[in-house]
A and B are shown apart, each in its own frame.
Chain A
């Protein structure tokens, strides 16, 4: 047996016993840059009602248009004499008071699309609303700057468009130890020895083989690197809480991952909105604030930026079912230690100037937020990733 093969085989056998594959892990540790910046993206999927999240609690139009679902003045946690947080966002209010949160109002894009799927695609690909791209901007970041698939990780079950590039994809990880255990079956190593170039160029077949290679490369790296960092913070029992906990463990073990993506679904509140949105906002605020506390305790918060968006906001006027229909512009949250203008980034939405659907008009193009984060945080040329020059806003 050749020496190389021997190392390979014994590393495989040992990893199967869940003993560290120390040879590989040590190699990687030497290459790891210290203290790099990372971005966490969280999507509130389904179209969060921004007006009941950041509430214009002194606005008569708001109360007139929402007779049964407007948030009562006394339930609001004021940010200034115009706007206030939904009561379940108390943990965010703390970050706000500490100068670690920017709330950006009126974010959207020209010619808004009110389909969840189309609008999510627009946010993920950063395309104009009449252009269709089949790769996401984080995927393009991987195409251009990524060296390993785990440079971008989605904490969940599926690979969202945002993580898909032209030639590279991010990794999906939910449970690092299970993934590691599964991928280290010796049979898979054998199967991969027989993949040919033709195999890899073929359509779906190539995709399967490439994904298998990515999985094998990433699984043991993520597992070995993160298994010693167990979070002892209480994230509760919700699936989103669990996602945030995994996220904290990955970040605190200082994986070489620049972008993380997670999503919290259920914001499509056409009927009986209050009960659902109350619970979701609570879940979100508790999960994110625990994450922040966990990062602070491990000295990783300084280098982490957390961006939260939803694919669109909802109509100003409520509907008959105590819910709201699909709207347009919405608010975006950015959490971090190095914000240029923490607090309220810009003015409250203007409820006197709605579009012909009765929706909020956007003031800030979401891509100018991306551009700022790309330039100043990920330190790459935003034009390369956005396909056009977009003037950044000064958030970070």
Chain B
């Protein structure tokens, strides 16, 4: 497989690849490389942090403790930051990279937010477990997760007063997309999800007294239907496969969606809703490697951070600061803005965020000033700007991976798009800077914002 394609595949399907790893794969066929990617994600490890302080609270049968929920929310706030850090570390360094990439995708598809970290962790591990599984089973499990039931109010969806929130978002955002269902469908589906409840430990049960056992008229059916039935019926519609594939395409391939490529994907996906199968189809398709799809997607803030990490591994001494940086750029793990998730693409970029994003590598890894052969830099060289963040950076790891590369190899290893000659000359030719400084320059051009 060509080096360029290996970088592309790993940037999109995982979180990048080191130059030495990439070089090792050149002798393999592209089928073999894709196989390897999937093989690495066959065994999935859930991500947990120590929550033993809260064990007693979440023991089964302690419904009375619900009243203390506000206290828990207050007390477990620092745990959110711990989980945020652990998650970021996992996506940068786990060998289950494809599964982590898929998990991040699903976290922005089945969007949910929970202030109780105990349930939030359960939720994200449901995403991890199903990330490459079966979409139908996945959707049913998500519907029954305590975090989702709370987030979209299925836990207060009662026979006599149905709450439409989950039913609406299920169809609009999770499965069909607007225009493929009616307001009547929403009302009927809401009835099917009545009585959804969970125990303190997060396990699901159907509250028989609140569940509506009547007939529902839903998409041509007129029968007793429960929540799982609704999801089955929705998945019978090809529009569901089409909608999900369109979101996958826009995330993994190009934000400008190519209708015929999506149709090819939907044909594969519709057969059994096997996520693994459709992703394999994408990563082996010729069009995935076409010029218009390489180095043309705007990185999400998490992508940007992980791509800096892949060049020079860093870690925040105070995890709170890492969360601050994520928020500044508009994407904090565990904190989606609303049920539609982050819109992505050009929405990440505005006058404010772009400049922060381009300045970040120098603030993280240097002194806050980007090396350049300008008058301004000459004035300021040696001063310190970026010491407000307490970050340790592993330049040794950089030297090991990038130190042996020829200078001309640096741009391809660091930036996804090809650089214009002028920009390349600015960085590579006749300048007095070290490889470390040149890498910092490469991470500070607009091209580094693309993947």
Contact = CB atoms under 8 A, between A and B. Distances in A.
Interface of A: 9-10, 12-13, 16, 46, 113-118, 149, 154, 157-159, 169, 171-174, 179, 182-183, 185-191, 193-196, 199, 203-205, 207-209, 211-212, 214-215, 218-219, 265, 268, 270-271, 319-321, 323, 325-326, 357
Contacts of A16: 376, 379-380
B370 A172 contact: no
Interface in B377-426: 377, 379-380, 417, 420, 422-423, 426
Contacts of A271: 153, 156, 163
B228 interface: no
Contacts of B157: 320
B349 A207 contact: yes
Contact of B168 (A13, A115, A186): A115
Contact of A186 (B359, B377, B422): B377
B349 A9 contact: no
Interface of B: 152-153, 156-158, 160-165, 168, 172, 178, 183, 255-256, 296-298, 328, 330, 337-340, 345-347, 349-356, 358-359, 362, 369-377, 379-380, 417, 420, 422-423, 426, 441, 444-447, 449-450
Contact of B441 (A187, A323, A325): A187
A158 B163 contact: no
Contact of A205 (B158, B359, B446): B446
B163 A320 contact: yes
B422 A320 contact: no
A208 B356 contact: no
A212 B168 contact: no
Contacts of A207: 298, 346, 349
A196 B420 contact: yes
Contacts of B350: 154, 158-159, 169, 171-172, 211
B447 A215 contact: no
Nearest to A5: B375
B346 A204 contact: yes
B183 A357 contact: yes
A187 B444 contact: yes
B422 A194 contact: yes
A188 B376 CA distance: 11
Given A12-B376, A321-B153, A357-B183, A191 B423 contact: yes
B297 A191 contact: no
A76 B287 CA distance: 62
Contacts of B449: 208
Nearest to B448: A208
A182 B447 contact: no
A182 B359 contact: yes
Contacts, number: 170
Given A179-B355, A212-B354, A320-B156, A13 B349 contact: no
A186 B330 contact: no
B178 A204 contact: no
A390 to B, nearest CB: 25
Given A211-B354, A320-B156, 15 more contacts: A9-B375, A116-B339, A118-B178, A173-B351, A179-B352, A189-B376, A194-B426, A196-B422, A205-B296, A211-B350, A211-B351, A270-B165, A319-B156, A320-B157, A320-B160
Contacts of B345: 204
A160 to B, nearest CB: 9
A13 B376 contact: yes
A185 B369 contact: yes
Given A205-B447, A212-B355, A319 B376 contact: no
Among A46, A190, A326, the most chain B Cβ lie within 10 Å of the Cβ of A190
Among A16, A185, A218, the most chain B Cβ lie within 10 Å of the Cβ of A185
A323 B340 CA distance: 21
Contacts of A211: 349-351, 354
Contact of B330 (A149, A158, A179, A183): A158
Contacts of A173: 351-352
A208 B450 CA distance: 9
A323 B155 CA distance: 13
A116 B349 CA distance: 22
A319 B163 contact: yes
B375 A191 contact: no
A195 B445 CA distance: 11
Nearest to A215: B351
A204 to B, nearest CB: 5
21 contacts: A117-B340, A154-B350, A173-B352, A185-B362, A185-B369, A187-B369, A187-B374, A187-B377, A189-B374, A191-B446, A195-B420, A204-B296, A205-B447, A208-B349, A209-B446, A215-B354, A271-B153, A320-B162, A321-B153, A321-B163, A326-B168
Given A194-B426, A219-B355, A319 B168 contact: no
Contacts of A218: 351
Contacts of B330: 157-158
B163 A325 contact: yes
Contacts of A215: 351-352, 354-355
**Which 9 A-B pairs give the minimum distances between C-beta atoms?**
A186-B376, A194-B422, A320-B161, A321-B156, A187-B370, A215-B351, A159-B350, A187-B372, A172-B350
A174 B350 CA distance: 11
A276 to B, nearest CB: 13
A394 B45 CA distance: 63
B446 A194 contact: no
A357 B330 CA distance: 36
A320 B164 CA distance: 11
B57 to A, nearest CB: 21
B371 A187 contact: yes
Contacts of A205: 296, 417, 446-447, 450
A117 B256 CA distance: 19
Given A171-B351, A190-B372, A190-B426, A199 B356 contact: no
Among A12, A325, A326, the most chain B Cβ lie within 10 Å of the Cβ of A325
A10 to B, nearest CB: 8
A172 B353 contact: yes
Contacts of A114: 168, 183
Nearest to B374: A186
Given A191-B423, A205-B446, A208-B450, A157 B352 contact: yes
A214 B339 CA distance: 31
A199 B417 CA distance: 12
Contacts of B370: 185-188
Contacts of A149: 351
A114 B162 CA distance: 16
B446 A212 contact: yes
Contact of A116 (B153, B338, B420, B444): B338
Contacts of A12: 374-376
A214 B446 CA distance: 14
Given A182-B359, A199-B420, A204-B298, A174 B377 contact: no
